[in-house]
């Protein structure tokens, strides 16, 4: 279906992004993706908003990738949505037996009637024919939307946010993972813990503005699908396809930021040169290379960057970039199926790690450590990794955020717990302060 495209010039400093996302909340389906101007991480656009579903697919994990493949090829249009971690059960003979408190569908994609792409000082409105007479009126309404005076994020008391796994239990579970590593069952596992608040409500969009301002990540996402919300400050790309080129950018290895430039530089150098942090990253790079090779042209998988330090507002991270070429005929959904879930959120060997972490974690991950993104009409795609995120079920007033880290043979349980608290800091700050 041909879309009508209209390009508007934007005035610098008029807060158009914030106005656009606030205006979008009138719709039932909303996805906002923002690169926060990270030009060196292969962005296609600065930001994009998709709203108002013409069609949608919402399903559990059973045959989910087959259903998505049919939906994506049939629509042959822009579709936006997410893959939850529990789609692992469609890819392998696995189960998700832990409790799910959030109730997000395992997979949700929609074909938006209205898309707005922001690049530089322009906004390109791409509307379907049945709504293209609303472009000018929508642009005027967006420009008039008030950002100042919007409801500030409601605060949740520190005592209301609870750990699903108490610290002592967390330390014991890391010891159990270390025992598995010593036995040779696995050599790395991403182990996660949930923090949550019950009977708690808040205004998601102002909270997202605050989270994004604190973190300024390259793969930020704000998602509203019916009564379910995701506020994501993700620094990590899962997978991107552009034509026959595919890239993955796993993150493993974290260090805190410091207050002084000298100390900050020292922490950055330590991260880059610490054997444990580098080994975490390299193990996952090997896993990603193996996953990409399933659909790649023979001999085309290559590591373009290995353990490069990227500095974000909250933390320094080790990021690697793995690239591959695929034949034009390879379906995009098959590339996702053969690499999902992303290795940075599982461990290695992947299937063994997923089985073990399922036993030790106590809540279902759901959308956390899944992926949010889009397909283009030609089948290109780009997906983040859902980390550093707040999930909210408005219907039952349940708020959740999960953090985790890579456990290897060199891991110290106390230090792993400290790393989790470091990763949780931005979400806590948004909810508590």
> What are the structure tokens assigned to 414, written together?
């106390």
- Which member of 236, 280, 325, 416 is catalytic? 236
Using CA atoms, how far residue 208 sits from 89, 213, 222, 354, 391, in Å, is 31, 8, 7, 30, 11
Which residue do the tokens 């805190």 mark? 256
- One-character DSSP codes across 167-184: HHHHHHHHHHHHHHHHHT
CA 223, CA 72: separation in Å to the nearest integer? 20
Cα of first residue to Cα of last residue in the chain, in angstroms, is 47
277 is catalytic: no
CA 380, CA 276: separation in Å to the nearest integer? 35
Number of Cβ within 10 Å of residue 352's Cβ equals 17
CA 64, CA 71: separation in Å to the nearest integer? 10
Residue 194 buriedness (CB in 10 A; 0-12 / 13-18 / 19+) = buried
- Which member of 17, 88, 240, 252 is catalytic? 252
Contact status, residue 46 vs residue 116, Cβ threshold 8 Å: no
Phi-psi region for residue 15, left (φ > 0), alpha (ψ -120 to 50) or beta?
A: left
236 is catalytic: yes
Number of Cβ within 10 Å of residue 282's Cβ equals 18
Contact status, residue 350 vs residue 343, Cβ threshold 8 Å: yes
Q: Which residues are catalytic?
A: 236, 252
């Amino acid at each position: 279906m041909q879309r009508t495209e209209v390009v508007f010039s934007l005035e610098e400093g008029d807060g158009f992004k914030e106005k656009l996302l606030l205006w979008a909340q009138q719709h039932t389906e909303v996805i906002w993706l923002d690169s926060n101007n990270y030009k060196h991480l292969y962005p296609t656009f600065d930001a994009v908003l998709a709203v108002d579903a013409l069609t949608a697919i919402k399903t559990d994990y059973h045959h989910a990738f087959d259903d998505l493949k049919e939906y994506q090829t049939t629509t042959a249009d822009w579709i936006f949505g997410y893959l939850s971690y529990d789609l692992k059960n469609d890819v392998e003979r696995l189960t998700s037996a832990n409790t799910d408190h959030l109730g997000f569908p395992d997979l949700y994609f929609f074909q938006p009637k209205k898309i707005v792409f922001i690049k530089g000082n322009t906004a390109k409105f791409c509307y379907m024919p049945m709504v293209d007479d609303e472009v000018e009126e929508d642009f005027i309404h967006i420009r008039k939307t008030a950002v100042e005076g919007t409801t500030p994020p409601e605060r949740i008391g520190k005592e209301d946010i609870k750990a699903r796994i108490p610290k002592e239990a967390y330390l014991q579970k890391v010891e159990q993972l270390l025992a598995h590593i010593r036995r040779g069952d696995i050599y790395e596992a991403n182990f996660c813990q949930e923090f949550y608040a019950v009977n708690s409500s808040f205004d998601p969009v102002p909270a997202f503005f605050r989270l994004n301002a604190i973190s300024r990540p390259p793969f930020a996402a704000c998602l509203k699908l019916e009564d379910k919300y995701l506020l994501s400050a993700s620094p990590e790309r899962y997978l991107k396809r552009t034509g026959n080129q595919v890239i993955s950018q796993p993150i493993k290895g974290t260090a805190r930021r410091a207050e002084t430039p000298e100390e900050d530089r020292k922490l950055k150098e330590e991260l880059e040169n610490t054997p444990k942090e580098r080994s975490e990253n390299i193990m996952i790079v090997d896993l990603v290379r193996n996953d990409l090779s399933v659909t790649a042209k023979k001999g085309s998988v290559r590591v373009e960057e290995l353990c490069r330090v990227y500095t974000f507002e909250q933390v320094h991270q080790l990021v690697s970039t793995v690239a591959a070429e695929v034949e034009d005929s390879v379906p995009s959904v098959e590339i996702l199926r053969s690499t999902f879930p992303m290795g940075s959120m599982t461990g290695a060997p992947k299937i063994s790690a997923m089985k073990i972490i399922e036993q030790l974690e106590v809540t279902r991950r759901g959308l956390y450590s899944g992926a949010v993104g889009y397909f283009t009409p030609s089948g290109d795609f780009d997906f983040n990794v859902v980390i550093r995120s707040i999930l909210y079920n408005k219907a039952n007033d349940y708020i959740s955020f999960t953090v985790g880290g890579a456990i290897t043979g060199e891991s110290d349980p106390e230090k792993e717990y400290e790393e989790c608290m470091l990763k949780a800091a931005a979400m806590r700050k948004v909810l508590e302060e």
